[in-house]
Structure formats: C-alpha cells, structure tokens
Chains A and B, each alone.
Chain A
Amino acid sequence: MTKMHAVPTIPPFERFYGQHRVEVMRLLRRRLGGERADDAFQETFLRALQAYGRLDHAEHLRAWVLTIARNVAIDTLRRSQPIAGPVDPPVEDERPAYEELAPLTDGLPPKERAAVVLRYGYDLPYDRIAFAIGSTPAAARQAASTGVRRLRKRRNLQ
C-alpha cells in the first residue's frame, strides 16, 4: 500500500535530542523541580533511545517524547510518595501535545489518558505507546480500551 503523503524519515537521534531536550527539561522542571528533573531528564531520553531503533516512522516525535517525559515525572512522583493514593492527573502544560483530545480526555488516569491520546489522536501503534508510557503493548492496548470505556460511560451519564 502506498501512502499519499511523504513520511518523514527518522532523524539521527542526535538531531532529535537537540530539537526536544529543552522542552523536555522545561516540562520536567515544572513538574518535579530542579534536582529531580535532572534524573528524570536522563531517564526520559534513555527510554526514548531504547525505543528509537524500532520506530517505523518519524511522525509526532515531539508528542511522543513529551508523553515519555510526563510518565517519567509521574513515576518519579510516585516513587517519592510511596503511601500516597492515586496520582492526580497531570496539570496541563503550556503547550499541550494533544490539544484536540485534551478536553475530552480530562480526568482519565494518566496512563489511560496517554494511551487514548496516542492511539486515537496520533494513530500510533501499541508498541510505541507501550514505550511512551513505560509498559507492554498488551497493557497499552488495555489502557486505551479501558480509557475509551470510561469516557463512554461518562458521556452516557451526562
């Protein structure tokens, strides 16, 4: 099957890192503060690097790496509050990567929200979503379908 539009080739990682590192750091500083942001920064780009060799196209790389960063931030907060209850859904960023689906998915648990947005907003395959949210493809699929069910239920209640 041929695509009608040219799919951008995956840029060398150095270029990808150069393009997105400042924005990733800004997001992490906002959520975690200075010191913890440094560790989370490294973790974010190591996770991205781990998945990078298996990417099959170069679309939505910014949304993808910001989702990884958000999830690293959530993991970091979770680790530092071991007895806390469920983590609050993330605060909206200044420039959200998923403007269109944001109002619709507000209030979903973070992983479900990320899975729904990446699946239905960006049409990413589950293996890439899995890397972005730090889980397996099966769990990513599960998170997306649970999220959609939850949204449906909420809509029916309105």
Chain B
Amino acid sequence: MTISPHLDRRFREAALALELVDLGFDVVESPIGPLFVAASHQGLASISFDARPEAHLEKLARVAGPRVLRSPKSVDATRLELDEYFEGRRRAFDLTLDLRGLPAFTLSVLRELARVPYGETTTYGALAAKAGHPRAARAVGTVMNRNRIPIVLPCHRVVGADGSLVGYGGGLDIKAKLLELEGWL
C-alpha cells in the first residue's frame, strides 16, 4: 500500500501551516547540482552539497528539535533567492539565518564573512584579523570548512594569501564555478 502523493503533500502542508515543524527541508535543484536546504522558523539553517537528506537529519534534529519534516514550502524563500543568485540577478541574500548552537568565535567569523561583497575575495588571515583574532587564520579555515550555510554565507570568497583557491566543502570545482559566476575568475 502506498500513500498518495496528494495526501502526503496535504499532510506536510498542514503540519507547516499549524507550526508543528521545528525544521523543514527539501532538495533544491541548481546549476551546480542538487542542494539539501533546511529552514526553521528562525530562518535558513542549512545548505549542503550532499543532497541526501538522511545524511543530515539526525544532526539537524539535535540542534533544532526532533520535528524535522520534508516540506518544500518551508524552503521556498531560499529556493527563490538561490534561483535569482544563480541566474545572476541577485548579488546579496536577504534571508534571515538560523545559527543556533554555534560558538561565539564561529559567529564572529561568519559575521565578517557575510560582509565580503559579491565578486570579491578575501584571505583566511584577513578574515581572522577582521574578526579580532589576527593569528587565527587556521581556525578560520576550520570555520569555513564547517560552514552550515555555504553560498549564502560566502565561504567560496575566501582564498589563500597567494590567490589559490585552497579548498572548499563542495569541492574546488564548485568554488571555481561560484567565483566564475560572480565574475572574479
């Protein structure tokens, strides 16, 4: 026996409308491949290049609560802004972010990261200095590596002191594509 897609969708929409969902997620198509996207009532909580939901659900439930449900509508705002970004019609995101559970150092680095403009890059060292920890370039690298909301928090705009791309959670080819889209490469 199967549950009809119509009934399944109706339940998911009702759950969201009744505010019974701690975190909604969906898989969003993009020119760089499918993306896993999750959002809570506080805002966008996660974007991942690993589009398999099962890779993320437990970890997200520990932060946001166990009521994690696939719900296309919950990520509509993110889907729209990502579409505009990939079409070159959006240079800055207006989404609110859910950064619950992150330590103070991480938050201070991400705050500076969010200020790096479209089409420009900075270095790990420069970002560390702006966050008030000039010797913490390596720790900044770790924060970039663990960035829960890539693209929107633009860790692809952070490169090595010599201009090399260094590394990226989604792979260097994706980092290059994003910088190309923004006209830096």
Least CB distance from A18 to B in Å reads: 9
Tell whether B7 is near chain A: CB-to-CB under 8 Å. Answer: yes
For residue A2, which residues in chain B have a CB less than 8 angstroms away from its CB?
Answer: none
Contact partner of B57 (CB less than 8 A), chosen from A12, A22, A46, A55, is: A12
- CA A109 – CA B66 in complex, angstroms? 33
A45 touches B11 (CB 8 A): yes
Task: Compute the total of residue contacts between A and B using a CB distance below 8 Å.
Answer: 61
Contact partner of A10 (CB less than 8 A), chosen from B4, B14, B66, is: B66
Interface bin, chain B: 20 to 34
Least CB distance from A28 to B in Å reads: 11
For residue A17, which residues in chain B have a CB less than 8 angstroms away from its CB?
Answer: 69
B1 touches A46 (CB 8 A): no
- CA A26 – CA B69 in complex, angstroms? 22
B66 touches A53 (CB 8 A): yes
A22 touches B67 (CB 8 A): no
Q: Assess A53 versus B7: contact at CB under 8 Å? Given A12-B58, A12-B61, A14-B53.
A: no
B67 touches A13 (CB 8 A): yes
Q: Assess A49 versus B20: contact at CB under 8 Å? Given A14-B53, A25-B1, A42-B10.
A: yes
A13 touches B66 (CB 8 A): yes
Tell whether B112 is near chain A: CB-to-CB under 8 Å. Answer: no
Tell whether B139 is near chain A: CB-to-CB under 8 Å. Answer: no
Tell whether A106 is near chain B: CB-to-CB under 8 Å. Answer: no
List residues of B (4-41) whose CB comes within 8 Å of A's CBs: 4, 7, 10-11, 14-15, 18, 20-22, 25
Q: Name the CB-closest residue of A to B60.
A: A12
B11 touches A53 (CB 8 A): no
Q: Name the CB-closest residue of A to B18.
A: A46
B57 touches A14 (CB 8 A): yes
Interface residues of A (CB under 8 A from B): 10-15, 17, 21-22, 25-26, 29, 38, 41-42, 45-46, 49-50, 52-53, 55
Interface residues of B (CB under 8 A from A): 1-4, 7, 10-11, 14-15, 18, 20-22, 25, 53, 57-58, 60-61, 65-70
Among all A-B residue pairs, the 8 with the closest Cβ atoms: A12-B68, A12-B57, A12-B61, A49-B20, A10-B66, A42-B11, A13-B67, A13-B69
